[in-house]
Amino acid sequence: MKVKDILERIKNFWQGLTPGRRSALMAISIAALLGGAFLVQWLLKPQYAPLFTNLQQRDAAAVVEKLKEMKVPYQLAGEGTTILVPKDQLYQLRLDLASAGVLNSGQGFELFDQNKLGMTDFERNLDYQRALQGELQRTIVAMNEVEDARVHLVIPQPSVFLQEQQPPSAAVMLKLKPLARLKPEQVKGIMELVAASVAGLKLENIRVIDMYGNVLSDGLAGSDTAPLTQKQQTQMELKRQYERDLEQRLQAMLTQILGPGKAVAMVTADLNFDQQEIKQTVWGKEGALRSEQIKTEQGTTGGTGGPAGTPPNTQPPVYQAINPAPGNYNKSDTVHNYELDQTQTHTIVAPGQVRRLSTAVAVNGPVSPAMDNQIQQIVSAAVGYNPARGDQITVTSMAFDNSLQQQMAAEMEARQQRQQLLQQYLLWGAAGLGALLLMGVLIILLLRRRRQKALQARLPGEALLAGTQAGVPVEPLAVQPVEPVDVEKERQEAERKAKLERLREIIRQRPEDAALLIKAWLAED
């Protein structure tokens, strides 16, 4: 089939449509073309990945200048601190930029790769200090919780006088990743790393702070340098777990009352891990009678007699006296033996008793005194406030700094919007491609149908044209009688309609030949 015939058939198909169908077909075609173009552009668009993050302005400018020189497309994010490049070139660009020495911050011992003539001892010592700081920075940043770090070392010059020799010191500033937190053991590990890297540096001369200025190294030096035993670690973990449980309960309750993000609770517990064993003996006032001993004595008393033995030589003087009359006497002794009434108590107090509890609650925004009092009462009941132990509860109202949470929420919302927009674009592109495919299928079906009609009407049309041009009268086509079968009758009816349609088309295209044919028919009659 020639291209001219295809165009002619498309033209006839277009002319046969109503204005409403033409408008709908145009709208579908335009939407399909736009969707297909966007889908193709999105599929061919390179995916970007972070090349470097949290760069200083000087380093970011150097990297951008190098990328422009290399003619590599890039994008800036994070207020210019993050540079994005095509994902398929990410690792190669990192190697190229590292070999080119674009990033000058945080350099290590590669400072000594280039020997400079005429360097003084001061310059050499300064380069060594810078290199050591850079190496420590790289090592600390390798931790999962640390996003960036700065290390400052103070290494005094050696003195010939021992009393004038100053000890070295160090300061480390850490920028942690969002929602990350360092354990005391990790902070102490950083201090040990720095102390082992500098000769003569002691742990008490090292300070570690975070990006908010909070000192993380308090209480981790001095007498605390000995490693914790397993028992001490268990006790500290139990203390933290107890505090976390109380904080979570308080936080859940305050969230229900004040709303999410409106209050923060912090609990500090002083637990007694000493194991006590108490033995107590209590004596009763009355005991049980164990035995009884009764002794009874009876006798008779007589008159007064002389002394026993040989009578004396001298006779005692005789006095006039009254002799008592003889009598009876009774004597009774009773002894009661009682069992000792005593109570012995042996008590072992389990370790982990709460000696003191301190609770602090910060509320976002101003709070009325009545509300402050209610919050304090609720917190007291929740943590088991006991004034006899010296417990403390503090409720303070102040404005919270939610910039980090707002930034993270904005980033998450922007990411969700991008994903939703991408899904919409993909849906539109798929719909456009589907419309294009449907329209193509419809056009193919219509063209095939017209082709079949043209093939069915080609033979009688060609015979008619040939007879007209030769001036020979052509007998009108007669329908052959067929068997009375419904299917055959329908087929013949379709052929007859096709022939009539072909004749009408020939008459429209060649009216002169049609007129000659009609005149020939009339002449025969």
Same domain, 207 and 64: no
Same domain, 170 and 38: no
**Vertex 220, ends 218 and 223: CA angle to 5°?**
120
- Tell me, yes or no, whether 235 lies in a domain: no
Token digits of residue 172: 């480390």
Q: What is the pLDDT of residue 478?
A: 44
Average pLDDT of 505-521? Answer: 72
Q: 476: pLDDT confidence band, cut at 50, 70 and 90? A: very low
Same domain, 193 and 118: yes
Crossing angle, helix 486-509 and helix 403-470, to 10 degrees? 80
- Tell me, yes or no, whether 388 lies in a domain: yes
Least confident of 42-56, 77-91, 450-464, 493-507: 450-464
Same domain, 173 and 195: yes
Higher pLDDT, 151 or 15: 151
Same domain, 420 and 382: no
Higher pLDDT, 109 or 428: 428
Domain CATH for 186 = 3.30.300.30
Q: What residues make up the domain containing 426?
A: 404-442
Q: What is the pLDDT of residue 121?
A: 77
Same domain, 12 and 55: no
Q: Find out whether 497 and 453 touch, Cβ atoms under 8 Å.
A: no
Token digits of residue 371: 């509300």
Among 16-25, 115-124, 184-193, 363-372, the range of highest mean pLDDT: 184-193
Q: What is the pLDDT of residue 190?
A: 92
Same domain, 69 and 216: no
Same domain, 266 and 380: yes
Q: 276: pLDDT confidence band, cut at 50, 70 and 90? A: confident
Total domains in the fold of the chain: 5
- Residue 300 pLDDT > 50, yes or no? yes
Same domain, 394 and 361: yes
Q: 19: pLDDT confidence band, cut at 50, 70 and 90? A: confident
Domain CATH for 61 = 3.30.70
Same domain, 197 and 249: no
Q: What is the pLDDT of residue 303?
A: 52
- Residue 309 pLDDT > 60, yes or no? no
Higher pLDDT, 138 or 460: 138
Q: What is the pLDDT of residue 207?
A: 92
- Tell me, yes or no, whether 218 lies in a domain: yes
pLDDT digits 0-9 by tens, 211-259: 888 888 887 775 444 455 667 778 888 888 888 899 888 988 888 888 8
- Tell me, yes or no, whether 293 lies in a domain: no
- Tell me, yes or no, whether 287 lies in a domain: no
CA distance 99 to 103: 10
Average pLDDT of 300-319? Answer: 55
Average pLDDT of 404-425? Answer: 79
- Tell me, yes or no, whether 31 lies in a domain: yes
Strand ranges of the sheet holding 206-210, from the earlier edge strand across to the other edge = 146-154, 169-176, 206-210
Q: What is the pLDDT of residue 299?
A: 74
Mean confidence (pLDDT) of the chain: 76
Q: What percent of the chain has pLDDT over 90?
A: 5
Q: What is the pLDDT of residue 481?
A: 46
CA distance 211 to 177: 10
Q: 46, 29, 122: which is closest to 86 by C-alpha?
A: 46
- Tell me, yes or no, whether 341 lies in a domain: no
pLDDT digits 0-9 by tens, 51-97: 877 777 777 888 888 888 888 888 888 777 788 888 888 888 888 88
CA distance 358 to 368: 23
pTM over 0.85: no
Q: 174, 176, 130, 131: which is closest to 150 by C-alpha?
A: 174
Higher pLDDT, 91 or 289: 91
Q: β-pairing, 289-301 with 342-349?
A: unpaired
Crossing angle, helix 3-15 and helix 403-470, to 10 degrees? 110
pLDDT digits 0-9 by tens, 164-216: 778 899 999 998 888 788 888 889 899 999 999 888 888 889 999 998 888 88
Same domain, 209 and 62: no
Same domain, 68 and 125: no
- Counting DSSP H helices and E strands in the chain, the numbers are 11, 13
- Tell me, yes or no, whether 148 lies in a domain: yes
Higher pLDDT, 470 or 393: 393
